[in-house]
Amino acid sequence: MVHNPGRGLGGGRALFDLYDLARAASTSTIVRSAAPAALLTALVYSLIPNLTPTLGSRTQIFVLMGLMGVGIVVWRVAYSQFFVQPQFRQRALVIGAGWAGRTLATALRVAPHDANPYRGTGYELVGFIDDNPAFHDATVEGIPVLGGQESLVSLAQALKIDEVIVAITHRHAIQDALFDDLLRCRELGIHISTMPDLYERLLLRVPVQHVGRDLNRALPSADTAYQRLFSIAKRLIDLVGALVGLVFLALLMPALALANRLGSPGPLFYRQARVGRRGQLFHVIKFRSMIPDAEAASGAVWAADNDPRITAVGRFLRRTRLDELPQVINVLRGEMSLIGPRPERPEFVEQLAHSIPFYRARHSVRPGLSGWAQVQYRYGNTADDSRVKLEYDLYYVKHAGFLLDLRIALQTIGVMLAFKGH
């Protein structure tokens, strides 16, 4: 029941994220995703008669769309209901009802999906184990504290636990008795995992505040031949993609220049200092989406929801992410990539690097026009939002590869078509 970021990359499945288990567990969400995916598939099918049997009439095309739409939605609803049944859930005990344990419980519980209270992860947190007397007989995040370390093995057997999750940030400080009990649980066939591992597997984020100084948890493994090949191929793809982007840029510029002159006279482009790979500064190029000299009085500030400085044309550009298109020039220069963490302003980097662990690790790769954080998380304008986005960015830094890049690219297209940019 663990989501794999490399799966679901077939056409509409990746575009509409149909194999995200957090979405697949929700009937209402899957209907909203599966229906347009089915229609898109039918449309593509009808447009490539050289590769598929020819549809002789418009009636056949509409029948095909109807059958595919109904069939896929019915299948996906059945799928969502089947895999959230109790027999597919992992019954888990969490060692530690403190900060790390609460973070994990909250992350698994709080969700906008209606079918499974644990976001389609297949996990049922049965209870906490904690030696702190203050927690005994208490309920933490809606989950009972069942006892201390001495009761771990007996509770795991009695409650038919499938997995024990160690939610202790400084795991080197685990006492010998608890360590021995964990090994006894493993001897009984119970899987043992840690909070950072589970958090990363299920939420596709690295819990930067709960890995201590363990560099292996937040940074990529040693350089490999595959990673070097991926780096070379990624740069070639960037160059081809940027050249194609230049064509679109040239086609859009006349219309945007006219709209800009009529709606908010001023420069068409906007240059701003950003921090790139290896911490080097460069100037990102964007279509201007705010009034001229928007920060003359306030200085460097994050854009807010419904920011009055954003022009009417700028709002459209942000919604479609077309304001980012001129950055293909940055890609050609080698300052950016098509896919990667979004580059941040140096004024904010210094502030965030002092308050968020591992923040500078995101500068180990080229920043991108779109990234994992952008397709997984809303637009953020606070330090806490920056921490969540960093967790996604570090996941990308650790797991970057062809399939993950393709998934981000397809989801970015979905965001643009749905006008979900900011």
| Residue 117 confidence (pLDDT) | 39
Q: Among all chains, which residue has been given the structure tokens 């066939």? A: 189
Task: Report d(CA 14, CA 27) in Å as an integer.
Answer: 18
- Residue 145 pairs in a beta bridge with 128
How confident is the model over 279-292, as a mean pLDDT?
91
User: pLDDT tens-digit profile of 233-283?
Assistant: 999 999 999 999 999 999 999 999 898 888 888 888 989 999 999 999 999
DSSP string, 32-68: HHHHHHHHHHHHHHHH-TTTSPPP-SHHHHHHHHHHH
Provide the whole-model pTM.
0.76
> pLDDT: is 137 or 101 the higher one?
101
Domain span at residue 338 reads 225-417
275 and 349 Cβ atoms separated by less than 8 Å: yes
Confidence category of residue 214, pLDDT binned at 50, 70, 90:
confident
Do residue 284 and residue 384 come from a single domain? Answer: yes
- pLDDT for 363-377, tens place per residue? 999 999 999 999 988
Q: How confident is the model at residue 213 (pLDDT cuts 50, 70, 90)?
A: confident
pLDDT at 397 over 80: yes
The percent of residues in the chain predicted with pLDDT above 70, rounded, is: 78
**Residue 124: both structure tokens together:** 């049922």
Does residue 215 sit within a domain?
Answer: no
Q: How many domains does the chain have?
A: 3
**250 and 181 together in one domain:** no
pLDDT-derived band at 116 (thresholds 50, 70, 90) equals very low
At residue 75, the pLDDT reads 79
SS3 271: strand
Same domain, 272 and 378: yes
Half-sphere exposure of 62 (CA within 13 A, CB side): 3
Please check the confidence at residue 4 and state whether its pLDDT lies above 90.
Answer: no
- Residue 246 · residue 327 · CB < 8 Å: no
What band does 86 get if pLDDT is binned at 50, 70 and 90?
low
pLDDT band at 59 (very low <50, low <70, confident <90, very high): confident
The pLDDT of residue 304 is 61
- 182 and 94 within one domain: yes
The reported pLDDT for the residue numbered 338 is 96
Q: Tokens 């418009």 sit at which residue? A: 58
Q: Are residues 111 and 231 in the same domain?
A: no
pLDDT tier for residue 192 given thresholds of 50, 70 and 90: very high
The confidence score (pLDDT) of residue 54 equals: 66
d(CA 83, CA 19): 12
DSSP string, 111-147: -S-SS-TTTTS-EEEEEEE---GGGTT-EETTEEEEE
Distance of CA 237 to the CA centre of its chain: 22
Mean pLDDT within 184-206: 90
| Stronger pLDDT, 69 or 316, i.e. the higher one | 316
Q: Does residue 179 sit in the same domain as residue 137?
A: yes
Same-domain status, 149 and 288 = no
Q: In this structure, what are the phi and psi dihedrals at residue 337, rounded to the nearest 5 degrees?
A: -125, 165
Q: Which two tokens stand for residue 36?
A: 């347009």
Name the residue among 203, 205, 151, 147 with its Cα closest to residue 181: 151
> Do 258 and 136 share a structural domain?
no
- Mean pLDDT, the chain, as a whole number? 82
Which residue carries 């009761």 as its tokens? 151
Q: In degrees, to the nearest 5, what angle opens at C-alpha 386 toward C-alphas 216 and 413? A: 95
Same-domain pairing of 189 and 252: no
**395 and 271 within one domain:** yes
On whether both 121 and 170 belong to a single domain, the answer is yes
pLDDT value for 417: 78
Percent of the chain exceeding pLDDT 90 equals 40
Is the predicted pLDDT of residue 2 greater than 60, yes or no?
no
User: What's the token pair of residue 233?
Assistant: 């191929």
Provide the pLDDT for residue 148.
Answer: 92
Asked whether the predicted pLDDT for residue 295 surpasses 50, the reply is: yes
Q: Hey, what amino acid is at 303? A: A
